With several copies, the nearest count.
Chain A
């Protein structure tokens, strides 16, 4: 199926996978990533997992109002961050993508400031938790409305194309998002325009509680690319290297003027949909346990261990370090001032309109 890592074949029936559960490299081409990058990928997956766990604790203790955990999605998310050119390309992620934006370089302090609605949030605590964003890193600030970020993603890509900037857009979303009209309108436009954009579907086969087979009659998401005249790739989303190689090829194809692609990473959602959800209502413990056997972290860790690049000791050291970082950040945030009341009135327009100024004055006295 895979002739050459430079040339994956679209509309494959079995998901592309490059490393086995046991952590062996199974692809017909050599892995050409540097040891450092391989280790970084794993460390970021691990950090993302720990971040997720920390978020859940913060939520339970009342310091976050909400969390949508990404555990099970790390491989796809971290791979995406490595597939693009940091600072050049643009990301249009969705709410479950803090693993991706972290791996791209979004500073932990900014992440934690956003999810806790802190004064230090670069977006001025204007949104609920789970809205990654960075002007510096070209991470578009999404809205909570599912799939609504995809038309803007395509617009940015068209701008890149007509101005020949050599940039690429990567936008991600869940399987549920593919049912929205906005997904269709946008990806269809991208196909017609040959815009440099990679569509990454993190397909966990659930939209909150709704099963994939209620979501669409299609056999999978990748095949939907046929409707738009672009290649669609089915990838084992628990295999970070498979995700990386496929996404990287799509990104570089887009940059080379070969147009957009759709990548379906078959992931698993280990947690409930969010802290507001109780997934025991609609799925069993057994299902969940089975999923966890395919944990993307385990697979990559075994791969590294097989190569002698990682050990129990490294694991423990790294965990300690990252948890320490989290704690330091949480302490910093605890000392931040409250979000000013008057921020409520800013940034509706470039300059405050008179009626808003009046409302502000009236409210603040």
Chain B
């Protein structure tokens, strides 16, 4: 039984064991083991050359990771909070994402940028954001956002072994909230771009990913009590995302609620919603509804209320069912 954050540390250790090109870098990832302990134990095991504390600069972290990757390492860089990716955003967008393309495929950067994301931890607007829209809209990046320990293991391994830059978002409010058995197999991987059907159902589809899976699951439980059977899909991977599964499952039931906690406008679910309407309009029995964060900066005092919680999800479900 292990938590998500423990799984991150153990998976990193396994991958560093397997492949000596894998190195870990970031602010406080060394002796400190990361401010969330996501790199705990690695410094002692692998030493300062493979577990590198960096200066306080996200541009240096992401940019240097690009150079390391190009030179043959497989860096896994930590951004301490997803909110702090922005000082290094140009390195992600202009360097990492476009390197393979602009070099005609002669150079590439196999690297992972890990970052804890999401609200509900009383962190205010710089320890709560979910910037996945910015990554997903940047061709050349892959984007992953698991919600369980097992998926964390499988997807992190896949990300590290991938030949392209992968942004690996971690649901920080679930870091220690869930424990589960995680497969032992050191080669247990989960493919990018495959959603997971967490629960099958007959009345409507609930789709979410990352931290919001917790609230979505709670809503589904609540619905079960009301004899409403929801199918629950965890996207897990946002670029590529599993359009095929989504379209197939939504077409079957005709009703869908989309849950994701970043601001509403151009939330990742805007894309999912648009695709559903464009591709399977005639199967829809009700408009897809998005339940998301608000179009405000992330507040402090209303830390929980900002999140699309079970109540808001249930209201959307009701609307969709009564349409």
Contact = CB atoms under 8 A, between A and B. Distances in A.
- Whether the complex brings A and B within 8 Å at their CB atoms is answered yes
B296 A185 contact: no
A162 B68 CA distance: 10
Interface string B33-70: 10100000000000001101111110110111111111
A215 B122 contact: no
B183 interface: no
Given A159-B73, A277-B35, A339-B301, A182 B102 contact: no
A208 B28 contact: yes
Interface in B206-245: 239-240, 243-244
Contacts of A210: 27-28, 30, 32, 53-56
Contacts of B142: 349
A186 interface: yes
A151 B95 contact: yes
A341 B305 contact: yes
B102 A131 contact: yes
Interface string A132-167: 010100001101111111111111111110110000
A66 interface: yes
Nearest to B57: A185
Contact of B57 (A157, A181, A343, A355): A181
Nearest to A353: B240
Interface stretch (A33-41, A72-80, A119-127, A252-260): A119-127
B103 to A, nearest CB: 4
A179 interface: yes
Given A141-B99, A156-B71, A350 B56 contact: no
A359 B264 contact: yes
A220 interface: no
Contacts of B31: 209, 281-282
A255 to B, nearest CB: 15
A185 to B, nearest CB: 4
Contacts of A277: 35
A131 B162 CA distance: 27
B295 A356 contact: yes
Interface residues of A, number: 78
A346 B104 CA distance: 8
Contact of B302 (A177, A186, A344): A344
Contacts of B30: 209-210
A128 B300 contact: yes
B100 interface: yes
Contacts of B297: 126, 348
A325 interface: no
A127 B100 CA distance: 12
Contacts of A355: 240, 243, 264-265, 295
Contacts of B162: 350
Contacts of A339: 301-302
A30 interface: no
A65 interface: yes
Interface of A: 65-66, 90, 92, 117, 121-128, 131, 133, 135, 140-141, 143-160, 162-163, 176-177, 179-182, 185-186, 188-189, 192, 207-211, 214-216, 276-277, 281-282, 339, 341, 343-350, 353-356, 359-360, 363
14 contacts: A131-B124, A143-B94, A147-B87, A152-B91, A162-B49, A180-B56, A181-B59, A182-B59, A209-B53, A210-B32, A214-B54, A281-B32, A282-B32, A363-B294
Interface of B: 23, 27-28, 30-33, 35, 49-50, 52-57, 59-60, 62-73, 75, 83-84, 86-87, 90-91, 94-95, 98-108, 122-127, 139-140, 142, 162-164, 193, 239-240, 243-244, 264-265, 294-297, 299-302, 305-306, 312
Given A159-B68, A207-B56, 14 more contacts: A126-B102, A133-B106, A143-B102, A144-B127, A147-B56, A207-B28, A209-B53, A210-B32, A214-B54, A339-B302, A344-B299, A346-B105, A359-B294, A363-B312
Closest 6 CB pairs of A and B: A151-B63, A155-B67, A155-B64, A124-B104, A144-B126, A152-B67
